[in-house]
Structure 1
């Protein structure tokens, strides 16, 4: 197997990731039990660390798929340890996505594991490597929304329910944005192997600016409205209402102190 060419230490889960998981678990418990005096603080920490966990899994999925496709260098780079500090651009993969969640409630795609594509043969493998990341966000969204579409919310405290709804919104936005066929995003990586050499050469200079282009478009009210209409439609099909995502975001932004309406929810 391909993994036999990587050392065990290169595949050992990082203590950094374990620590992030521990914070997620503790703050999730605090959100569920109402242990914290300020529930918004617990929701903020729970959603933020869970979001970071999903970003780590996103990048791990890229790296692991690349490993099994022939790029054994991902082990040497530390990508298989789930340590976010090992990414090529930790700022793009972790810091900026967290900032944008705080600012606008958008699951901004990360993406900073360097895959040595020359080691990989076959267009399908290249496409699958690119698709693996956003598919992880899809899976994360399915897990977050499961209590809603399974109608298993009896006994689930409101704060935890709202936090899950907001986290689901982040995962759905991340998956949708990542799958856009825009240079620099995973969606373009899926189709790129199937494009002609000439087209790829013409598009290549624009790849570093693809994410900025998408973000700029989302600032336009018309585009933003259509985008979130699509997100709301997806979430409603999974049993999550606008009210639940709204309250989740309000709790998350605890410093605004404007969640009295949600606190009175049945």
Structure 2
């Protein structure tokens, strides 16, 4: 998710630390590898392993989602992005009190929906063109879609997934979360990446209306998902896309049940 803002751009020479992956991100990678190995080898509690594997993988994908916004913005003219730490893949840099922590966690836990909630503040006045401005918003959900395709590749390539069922189920559920994030973020709602994608092309009058709705856009979208009819339609779209790219839905469903280890 990217936000509109006005900041002065500092184009002075940037230290290498501004582009170096943070220790927190590297720690998340270590947790992903360790929990994935434990799930694959059947070491310890399978449900706890899947929970840690999916939680670490989802947080990493959140970092990559926001990093994609930030990288395109940096290349597009907003060099102050680097000064704000957005190119270090540090999840704490993408923090919004409600959107970054509470809502994404709640929605994954109770609904199996991946809701990217980080925030990258972009100086859109420094961006060189409307096309690049739209590309900034496109980059985040596109990253989720790419991750989904990569995570599904073991299934589409016909690898033997009959062994280590908990590991493969966790992998499938993680791919499913990427698809839900992509679909949600491509919705052309003010305050969501899909809305921000079309914002640069709107007339000034429409942009003023957009800015009034944007602070509440994500909350409106979440409220709509509580409607049974819209909820069914949303998941039918996600499962439909999953079928197209080769995601086994039964594996994703099993992964979700394992992820919710406290319900057993």
The TM-score with structure 1 as length reference comes to 0.91
Runs of 5+ in structure 2 lacking a partner?
1-9
1:115 aligned counterpart, secondary structure? strand
Cα deviation for residue 245 of structure 1 reads 1.6
2:122 aligned counterpart, secondary structure? coil
Q: Decide which of 21, 24, 39 is 2:29's aligned counterpart.
A: 21
1:55 aligns to 2:59 (yes or no): no
Aligned equivalents of 2:97, 2:27: Cα separation in 1: 17
Cα deviation for residue 105 of structure 1 reads 0.4
Check conservation: 2:95, 2:101, Cα contact below 8 A: no
Cα deviation for residue 54 of structure 1 reads 0.1
Cα deviation for residue 241 of structure 1 reads 3.0
What does residue 89 of structure 2 align with? 82
Aligned equivalents of 1:181, 1:105: Cα separation in 2: 22
Deviates more, 1:228-237 or 1:125-134: 228-237
The TM-score with structure 2 as length reference comes to 0.92
Q: Which has the higher contact order (CA 8 A, sep 6+)?
A: 2
1:42 aligns to 2:49 (yes or no): yes
What does residue 160 of structure 1 align with? 167
Aligned equivalents of 1:53, 1:161: Cα separation in 2: 18
Report Cα offsets for 1:131-167 as digits up to 9, x if no partner. 1111110111011111111212356521111111111
Check conservation: 2:81, 2:87, Cα contact below 8 A: yes
Cα deviation for residue 238 of structure 1 reads 2.4
Runs of 5+ in structure 1 lacking a partner?
258-266
Aligned equivalents of 2:144, 2:187: Cα separation in 1: 14
1:149 aligns to 2:165 (yes or no): no
**Aligned residues: CA RMSD:** 1.7
Aligned equivalents of 1:156, 1:22: Cα separation in 2: 23
1:114 aligned counterpart, secondary structure? strand
Q: Decide which of 142, 145, 151 is 1:135's aligned counterpart.
A: 142
